[in-house]
Amino acid sequence: MNKILSAEFIAPDIKRFVIEAPLIARKRKPGQFVIVRVRENGERIPLTIVDGSPETGFITLMVQGIGKTTKTMNQLKSGDFVQDVVGPLGKPTHIEKFGFVVCVCGGVGTAEVLPIAKALKEAGNRVITIIGARTKELVVAEFEMRTVCDEVIVTTDDGTYGKKGFVTEALSAILNTDRKPDFVLAVGPLPMMKAIAEMTRPYKIHTEVSLNSIMIDGTGMCGGCRANIGGKTQFVCVDGPEFDAHLVDFDQIAQRQKQFVAQERISLDRFVHENHTCKLDSYINQQEKS
Amino acid sequence: MENLPVLTKKDRMAIPRQKMPEQAPEIRKRNFNEVNLGFDEKTAVLEANRCLDCPRPTCIDGCPVRIKIPDFIRMIVQKDFLGAAEKIKEDNLLPSICGRVCPQEEQCEKTCVLRGKFQAVSIGRLERFVADYERKYGNFTPPHFLPSNGKKIAIVGSGPSGLACASDLIQWGYDVTIFEALHEFGGVLVYGIPEFRLPKEILRYEINNLKKIGVKFIKNFIVGKTLTIDELMNEEGFDAVYLCVGAGLPWFMNIPGESLMGVYSANEFLTRVNLMKAYQFPEADTPIHIGKNAVVIGGGNTAMDAVRTAMRLGAETATIVYRRSEVEMPARIEEIHHAKEEGIVFRMLTNPVEFVSDENGWVKKVRSVRMELGEPDASGRRRPIPIPGSEFDIDADLVVVAIGNGSNPLISQTTPDLKCNKWGNILVNDTSGRTSKRGVFAGGDIVSGGATVILAMGEGRNAAKSIDEFIKTGDWDETDRLSQPTP
């Protein structure tokens, strides 16, 4: 059991948790993840470690409430316990001085990119980060990102904040200049990562994406997270989670992500029925923290 | 003890081998309760009376942990069931597990003098009987302990090998900690072997007993990630480490369609159902796809567990597809027999070549070829050869690939001075379990590549002896010849 030291909504349905996990806090490196089981009889889900400090023994996780498990987790408050937390898992991001780096992130992926962007900057890179969100209130970690990057570009689909449009348009503007990036990292929804991969492919710019697959153990035992990378079967949990974007078969991953859609629907309906959640919920919780 | 009539050898040989009471196939194929119900006292005594109590018992030679078989059977004859349990525990602390999952027909019962015409004594069923009797009626009595010696031993993995190693070392005065990566203890006994073969309640009981005698259990801890072996030894003060992390990456067949929806590795399929309790979905959160036509590829015990699980989840047809013939199947005869009784279809000499997709990305057929047997291969079994032009399709909306495992890479990745073979199995000195790294021992599937519960336990106990010797003498032969196991 791991104690939650703080839990607050930073955007609708997106909650930031600070959790006691001293050994993981000491070991984790940017790009790694933990497997979390919220409750007894709960499922095991992978969550990227957003931050962590060996001094305090805390790690930070960011949870977007989409299905039953993430919504159950987002009901937890500071002082509550998470049933199981194990890690750090996966290979850390490869950090080196590439020169000019562009990080492209969508939604909650922004929080996951934050420690990586910081490490890339500290390694001597010039770092531009593009943050994309559907609408203004879903833009997360922008302020923190500005403190570690040379430049931050925000795009929103509806134009309520930053530039109106998609991250791809912002990246396109950079690719059309003379100084092409030496390295591009994309973390976010699959269609976004696929689009970024296709954009950098003609320029042969080394591009990495962080995959988020269905997992159980997270240690290479079950093979549920397998993905086709350059024609070879790789396991996201032990060979990844970051892969060369130009080798990833995104369509296959997208399809495999859908294998439990019917069951996820059943679980979510039961959750909604049991909890009578309404759209005010995240708003009410936000009020609590202040 | 009551006075018993003395039976002659002829009397004993006249008693037929007693049948194991079972749930009826038609009922059990739709539930997860244990298939075998166990002997009652009367049947156990009758079966025990079949033992000829040979002056030079050969059954013991067939047991990897050398249980004093005639001694405990004699105590059953005398109705001293708790005494019989104690006798087994001198050599095996987990009899209720071994009595269920050991392949006795390949071990102790294979070397019983009655094998063949008269049929071997049901040693496994008797072992199971006394273990269950003790759990039900006995008080847990801690075994005899040596005084604490203050030496700390880390055991990496809480499967059968780790539990067996821990049970010896704790009795010899060591401070033993078992590290487990998952959220429950037991390794393959909890994620792999289904409830209907090994009820989890029994496993929990055995693990609780180890806790009672002082073994420390730490879950959610991945050695190699949470802490490395070097950190355990240099910073956390462990004097020796036993690596028994079990099997790792599941093998696939590398044929088209393996990533289709509805295709699982046996590890994933069984872990979802056993560890994560997907058969209770939606009460338990982890889902599983329930197939109408389930096809399981492979011929081992894992394949049998998977196909019988698919049947219990509600499949209309559940089929084993195996590329050799039934005699070459590595699964236990009892499991094959049970599976057949439950209506599992066996398609022998059949090898999948492709998983065919429906329009939505779900598997709908297993395209296969028929095989014939040629000359014996390296394993001594006749090599299966595809028959040209024999392709045919088997309807399937659930496919489980149960063809074995590679090794787990997490420890070797973070322990460069640990020598492994090209498949990633840790190399050890055959007799001692010593690895290439001082103070580090290994055993179980991470060394053998995949074997049985009792062999893993035997290696665990072997490692316990070597660890004890190493701690006492400090000797470490750097010129050890390390073996190359072939998975």
Locate the domains of chain B by residue range.
Answer: 9-137, 152-248+406-473, 252-403
Please report the beta strands in chain A, taking only residues with DSSP state E, as ranges in sequence order: 2-11, 14-20, 33-37, 44-53, 58-64, 81-82, 84-89, 100-106, 126-133, 151-156, 163-164, 183-187, 206-210, 226-229, 232-235, 242-244
Average pLDDT, chain A: 92
pLDDT for the residue numbered B247: 79
pLDDT for the residue numbered A194: 96
Q: Do A238 and B282 touch (CB under 8 A)?
A: no
Q: Tell me if residue B317 falls in helix, strand or coil.
A: strand
Q: Using CB atoms and an 8 Å cut-off, which of residues 78-97 of chain B contact chain A? A: none
Task: Specify whether domain A2-89 bears CATH 3.40.50.300.
Answer: no
With cut-offs at 50, 70 and 90, classify the pLDDT of residue B297. very high
Q: Give the length of chain A.
A: 290
Longest dimension (CA), chain A: 56
Q: Give the length of chain B.
A: 487
Contacts of B450 by beta carbon, 8 Å cutoff, 6+ apart: B247, B404, B405, B487
With cut-offs at 50, 70 and 90, classify the pLDDT of residue B379. confident
CATH level 2 (architecture), domain B252-403 = 3-Layer(bba) Sandwich (3.50)
A83–chain B Cβ distance below 8 A for any pair: yes
The CATH 2.40.30.10 domain(s) of chain A lie at 2-89
AA letter at B364: K
B259: chain A residues, CB-CB within 8 Å: 226-228, 233, 252, 256
Q: Which contacts qualify for B325-334: CB closer than 8 Å, 24 or more apart? A: B325/B349, B325/B373, B328/B299, B328/B381, B328/B382, B329/B299, B329/B300, B330/B299, B330/B300, B330/B301, B331/B299, B331/B300, B331/B301, B331/B303, B331/B304, B332/B103, B332/B105, B332/B106, B332/B301, B332/B304, B333/B105, B334/B105
CATH code for residues A100-257: 3.40.50.80
Q: Which of A85, A227, A270 sits opposite B282 (nearest CB)?
A: A270
A69–chain B Cβ distance below 8 A for any pair: yes
pLDDT for the residue numbered A283: 59
Rounded to whole angstroms, the Cα distance separating A171 from B269 reads 41
Q: For B216-246, what is each residue's pLDDT tens digit?
A: 999 999 999 999 999 999 999 999 999 999 9
Element (H, E) at A27: helix A22-27
B218–chain A Cβ distance below 8 A for any pair: no
DSSP B182: S
As a whole number, mean pLDDT of residues B373-390 equals 90
Element (H, E) at B86: helix B81-89
| Residue B365: CB atoms within 10 Å | 21
Rounded to whole angstroms, the Cα distance separating B211 from B13 reads 43
Q: Which of A23, A86, A270 sits opposite B181 (nearest CB)?
A: A86
* B9-137 against B152-248+406-473: fold identical: no
Rounded to whole angstroms, the Cα distance separating B479 from B429 reads 10
Q: Do A219 and B222 touch (CB under 8 A)?
A: yes
Element (H, E) at A109: helix A109-122
Q: For B164-202, what is each residue's pLDDT tens digit?
A: 999 989 989 999 999 999 999 999 999 999 999 999 999
Q: What share of chain A is helix, strand, coil (3-state, %, to 5)?
A: 35, 30, 35
B196, B201, B204, B210: CA torsion to nearest 10: -100
Q: What are the start-end ranges of the H helices in B172-291?
A: 188-191, 200-212, 229-234, 266-273
Structure tokens at B310: 């698919």
Whether residue A80 is predicted with pLDDT greater than 50 in this model: the reply is yes
Q: Do B227 and A255 touch (CB under 8 A)?
A: no
A228–chain B Cβ distance below 8 A for any pair: yes
Q: Which of A43, A219, A227 sits opposite B276 (nearest CB)?
A: A43
Q: For A24-72, what is each residue's pLDDT tens digit?
A: 999 999 999 999 999 999 999 999 999 999 999 999 999 999 999 999 9
The CATH 3.40.50.80 domain(s) of chain A lie at 100-257
Q: For B14-60, what is each residue's pLDDT tens digit?
A: 999 999 999 999 999 999 999 999 999 999 999 999 999 999 999 99
pLDDT for the residue numbered B130: 96
B253–chain A Cβ distance below 8 A for any pair: no
- Find, in chain A, the residue whose alpha carbon is nearest to that of B280: A41
Whether residue B487 is predicted with pLDDT greater than 50 in this model: the reply is no
Whether residue B124 is predicted with pLDDT greater than 50 in this model: the reply is yes
As a whole number, mean pLDDT of residues B455-467 equals 90
This model of the complex carries an ipTM of: 0.90
Rounded to whole angstroms, the Cα distance separating B303 from B318 reads 11
Min Cα distance A225 → chain B (Å) is 10
A147–chain B Cβ distance below 8 A for any pair: no
User: What's the pTM value of the predicted model, to 2 decimals?
Assistant: 0.90
- Cα of first residue to Cα of last residue in chain B, in angstroms, is 49
pLDDT for the residue numbered B105: 87
As a whole number, mean pLDDT of residues B292-304 equals 96
A272–chain B Cβ distance below 8 A for any pair: no
Angle at B395 between CA B325 and CA A254, to 5 degrees: 115
Whether residue A277 is predicted with pLDDT greater than 60 in this model: the reply is no
As a whole number, mean pLDDT of residues B94-104 equals 87
pLDDT for the residue numbered B3: 55
Residue that is written with structure tokens 């929080």 in the block: A111
Whether residue B214 is predicted with pLDDT greater than 60 in this model: the reply is yes
Q: How many Cβ pairs closer than 8 A exist between chain A and B?
A: 118
Min Cα distance A170 → chain B (Å) is 34
Q: For A86-107, what is each residue's pLDDT tens digit?
A: 999 999 999 999 999 999 999 8
CATH, domain B9-137, list 1.10.1370.30, 1.10.1060.10, 3.90.190.20, 3.30.300.30: 1.10.1060.10
Q: Cα–chain-centroid distance for residue A269?
A: 25
Which residue has better confidence, B437 or B142?
A: B437
B256–chain A Cβ distance below 8 A for any pair: no
Average pLDDT, chain B: 91
AA letter at B115: R
pLDDT for the residue numbered B423: 84
At A250, phi and psi to the nearest 5? -65, -35
B248–chain A Cβ distance below 8 A for any pair: yes
Whether residue A7 is predicted with pLDDT greater than 70 in this model: the reply is yes
pLDDT for the residue numbered A239: 94
With cut-offs at 50, 70 and 90, classify the pLDDT of residue A285. low
Q: Do B410 and A219 touch (CB under 8 A)?
A: yes
B222–chain A Cβ distance below 8 A for any pair: yes
Whether residue A117 is predicted with pLDDT greater than 90 in this model: the reply is yes
Q: Do A86 and B408 touch (CB under 8 A)?
A: no
Element (H, E) at A275: helix A261-275
A230–chain B Cβ distance below 8 A for any pair: no
With cut-offs at 50, 70 and 90, classify the pLDDT of residue B484. low
pLDDT for the residue numbered B365: 97
Identify the CATH class of B152-248+406-473: alpha beta
Q: Do A86 and B286 touch (CB under 8 A)?
A: no
